[in-house]
Structure 1
Amino acid sequence: MSGLASEFGRNRRAVVRDDGREFESLAAAAIATFGSLSNPHRISRACKTGKPVGGHTFRFREGGAR
């Protein structure tokens, strides 16, 4: 897989941003935060470390993807 399809396929962990907004995937959170799909790994790292990225903190949603 490559491009957009692979980004959405690999990054299906649901996350919650500090403002309460929920995202179905790391890719969706990256698009909302950075305006592109180029940084979903930064969202994942932020969830694991608790450090802010893009002006927000993130956490993985309990129970995973819907």
Structure 2
Amino acid sequence: MAGVARVVLPTFVGNNQSGLKQVTEPIGELEHDQWLVTHHEDRFLPDVRRVIERIYAVLRAAIK
């Protein structure tokens, strides 16, 4: 059977992939806050700001 594997992924990643199946409960010891970090000066650059806002939106939608 090609393409069969077991991996540990964040639930917000696996929940959004129809081809993946959760086979165990989440591992409590691996739970933690997510931080999006950038240099202070860079966060105001338009391209960087767009990326920050997009990543935030994707992560926010995934954990709801």
Same fold (TM over 0.5): no
- Structure number with the higher strand fraction is 1
Considering only CA atoms, is the larger Rg found in Structure 1 or Structure 2? 2
Superposition TM-score, scaled by structure 2 size: 0.27
Superposition TM-score, scaled by structure 1 size: 0.26
